[in-house]
Amino acid sequence: MGKAGTRVHLSGVTARINGTPIVGDVDLVAEPGQIVGLIGPNGSGKSTLLRTVYRSLRPATGVIRLDGDDLWRMSAREAARHRAAVTQDHSVDTGFSVRDVVAMGRTPHKGLLDRDTSADQEIVDDALERVRMTWAGERIFTSLSGGERQRVLLARALAQQPSLLVLDEPTNHLDVRAQLDLLELIRTLRLTTVTALHDLDHAAAYCDHLVLLRAGSVVAAGPPADVLTPDRIADVFGVRAHLGHHPITGRLHVATAPLSADVAATTGV
């Protein structure tokens, strides 16, 4: 299901909300199949930048290309056949079942008079299976836990059969296990993914490429080990950071503490 992944190229993207510039002149490239993490403090423009990609906010200037095609020159429907997203504002409180919610992912593939076909049903089944939520198909969406809901919304995005996945802080409000389950799941999808993340440790461990934003501008971009340096983290986030290897997984690990924290026995990398 889905295409192998597309190359995403944002060039010179500027975004304003009610005239106020929030994001200025951002360049970003996600190679096919890469997971690109957007990191930065609150208000640095991560969500606003993502809105220009999932077409909730038109960039004031700049171009967003998917494999060379201008995302904002497509119709809204066509764009939604290439790019799916899990946003933060989602509010399904109307009694839709999990299957109904996932089937909504077929919306951009359907004309005004089209009915759901057995092919659509298979795509929905497949999407639920990929996020391991098949058992919940007939449950009411709102009766699920936060982690389960995020997986269902991810299944809805997969049912769109996108080549680009956009995630806006997908681990927000989830307990620690649900966060790790979701991040592991995202890695298995092999889709070009652009995701905003708050947790620097998660960003370091799960992303192929990071883009660090401050006040709407890119401060640094590159592999996690290059972007996440103690000096830069101290400068942008105002916290003391220690880079090392995760004692359990061996992945890149970011430990943080307040700038004023006493330095205990620090072991080098």
Partner 1 sequence: MSRTTPVAPGRPAPTTPPGHARERRRTAVIPTTALVVVLLAALVLAILTAVAVGTVAMPLGVVWQVISAHLTGGPVGVDPLSDQIIWQYRTPRVLLAALAGAGLAVAGVCLQALVRNPLADPYVLGISSGASLGAVLVLSYGSAALGGLGVAGAAFLTALLTLAAVFLLAQRGSRLGATRLVLAGIATTYLTTAATSYVQLHASPNELRGIMFWLLGSVSGATWPALRIPAVVVVVTLAWLILRARSLNALTTGDDSAATLGIPVNRLRVELLAVSALLTAAVVAVAGGVGFIGLMIPHMVRLIVGPDHRRALPVAAVGGALFLVLVDLGTRTVDPPNEYPLGVFTAALGAPFFLWLLRRNKNEVI
Binding residues vs partner 1 (CB under 8 A): 18, 51, 54-56, 75-81, 83-85, 87-97, 100-101, 104-105, 107-108, 110, 112-113, 132-136, 138-140, 143, 147-148, 157, 160, 166, 181, 184-185, 187-188, 190, 249, 251
Residue 259 Cα distances to 42, 47, 137, 198, 238, angstroms:
18, 26, 47, 18, 7
178 half-sphere exposure, CB direction, 13 A CA radius: 15
Smaller CB separation from partner 1, 136 or 212 = 136
**How near is the Cβ of 165 to partner 1 at its closest, in Å?**
10
**Are the CB atoms for 81 and 162 separated by under 8 Å?**
yes
The least CB distance from residue 258 to partner 1, in Å, is 31
Q: How far is the CB of 237 from partner 1 (least distance, A)?
A: 26
CB of 84 vs partner 1, minimal distance in Å:
6
Smallest distance, partner 1 to C-beta of residue 135, A: 4
Cβ proximity to partner 1: between 80 and 218 the closer is 80
Please say which residue, 188 or 260, places its beta carbon nearer to partner 1.
Answer: 188
Name the packing angle between helices 146-159 and 176-188 (round to 10°).
20
Nearer to partner 1, 153 or 233 (CB): 153
Nearer to partner 1, 113 or 265 (CB): 113
How far from 1 is each of 162, 163, 191, CA to CA, in Å? 9, 10, 10
How many C-beta atoms surround the C-beta of residue 176 within 10 A? 8
Q: How far is CA 124 from CA 39, 129, 131, in A?
A: 32, 9, 11
- Bridge-partner residues for 243, per DSSP? 254
